[in-house]
Structure 1
Amino acid sequence: MRISIRIDSAAGNAQLRRWGGEFRTKVQKAVERAMRTEAAEIKDDVRAHVAGQMSVVRKSFLKGFTAKVLAKDPKRLPALYVGSRIPWSAMHETGGQIAGRMLIPLHGRVGRKRFKAQVAELMRGGNAYFIKNAKGNIVLMAENIKEHDRPLSGFKRRYRKAEGVKRLKRGADIPIAVLVPKVVLKKRLNVERLVAGRIPRLSAAVEREISTVD
């Protein structure tokens, strides 16, 4: 995800070119200081917003949202970048649809790599099969057998919790995942509006810093 908001940057850079060398450098540093101060708070606000709108399991997802100052080009004023290192996080900002047949784990979350490995192990052992349930959904099932206790342990625990079952009998069928033709994601985040709301404060901070330059 990348949020892009501009504040008359063309006029600002034109003014920067008109200023003299040493003064121009001081102005650039002043703008950078103001942005770095605001960037830390914007980053915290964005992460708090995401945590409040979504059930975040992994802290790495939240840490992927960041705000940083780009100030390497001496010919331009510094810029503030707000975004996420996780490309697909933008789907939660705009909403959208992911097409293609996909297996979605049932009764709780499982990491993508772990889920793939567990299903592959069950299929290699011949203990994974599809059925069509009463609602017409295609469900991946597995049999509760001792040979596959390890890959099934998490699925059994989550299934028991969801169904309120204390113990599963040997040979019982366990629903693992549902096969879907597409996934529709609703808009759940509004990071762009949050950042836009901080622009007046950021602009004021930049003006204060520039006013100290002589």
Structure 2
Amino acid sequence: MTMRISVQIDSAAAQAQLRRWGGEFRDKVKKAVSRAIASEAVELKQDVRSHVASQMAVVKKSFLKGFTAKVLDKDLNRLPALYVGSRIPWSAMHETGGQIAGRMLIPLNGRVGRKRFKAQVAELMRGGNAYFIKNAKGNIVLMAENIKEHDRPLAGFKRRYRKAEGIKRLKRGADIPIAVLVPKVVLKKRLDVERLVASRIPRLAAAVENQISTVD
């Protein structure tokens, strides 16, 4: 699910007018509209990224950089349009909210990168130091034993577990909760990029009008 918001500020009448205009003048109008959108898109891109950063605990900067605003002006028969979206496939889930079905392991006591988490769990599994238990709440929890030969893959889990529980030091052989197995994940709506873009349409329309007025 990809976040994509396309705002076209031109109407059917404007499209018809564009077709009636002569070739050279029409090209000038298209370029003027493109300039107006491009000038607004730069600031809008930063506003969208700031909005995302304020609503979410962003770990990787690449997530924020995935949000962009740009001009769509390749169609010779249409006026340019504004595209706002993200190249991160699942980012739209935070705009609308939704549910991800399927059994998933969710790291406990803090965030871990997906690839790193997968590699660490795989290493523990290969070493026979990963096992599931059902806790008092009925949750299925992946555990690992604090043994020397697995100090490296367990380092982050131990640190976050000690911090969460207020434990200064873990004894050798102690059980460490790694992750919880869940049947689904429900994501709440956390972003409102569409509202942010909609609020900028009057300003964008004014910029387009100003640029067109300079065409002769």
* Range into which the TM-score falls when normalised by the shorter chain: over 0.9
CA contact (8 A) 2:9 2:81 kept: no
Out of 12, 30, 34, the position equivalent to 1:28 is 30
| Paired residue type of 1:75 | N
Alignment correspondent of 1:82:
84
Identity %: 87
Alignment correspondent of 1:143:
145
Out of 108, 114, 121, the position equivalent to 1:119 is 121
Out of 4, 7, 11, the position equivalent to 1:5 is 7
Counterparts of 1:144 and 1:14, CA distance in 2: 72
Alignment correspondent of 1:182:
184
Kindly state the Cα deviation for residue 105 of structure 1 after the two structures are TM-superposed: 0.1
Alignment correspondent of 2:201:
199
Kindly state the Cα deviation for residue 13 of structure 1 after the two structures are TM-superposed: 2.0
CA contact (8 A) 2:7 2:81 kept: no
| Paired residue type of 1:49 | H
| Paired residue type of 2:120 | Q
| Paired residue type of 1:95 | G
After TM superposition, the structure 1 = structure 2 runs for residues 104-115 of structure 1, keeping only pairs within 5 Å, are: 104-115=106-117
CA deviation profile, 1:36-78 (whole Å, cap 9, x unmatched): 0000011011001101111111100000000011112222211
Alignment correspondent of 2:61:
59
Structure 2 unaligned residues grouped into runs of 5+: none
SS in 2 for 1:187: coil
CA contact (8 A) 2:8 2:82 kept: no
CA contact (8 A) 2:30 2:80 kept: yes
| TM superposition outliers: structure 1 runs of 4+ over 3 Å | none
Q: TM-score if structure 1 supplies the norm length? A: 0.98
State the superposition RMSD in angstroms.
0.9
Q: TM-score if structure 2 supplies the norm length? A: 0.97
SS in 2 for 1:4: strand
Pairs aligned (count)? 214
SS in 2 for 1:177: strand
| Paired residue type of 1:90 | A
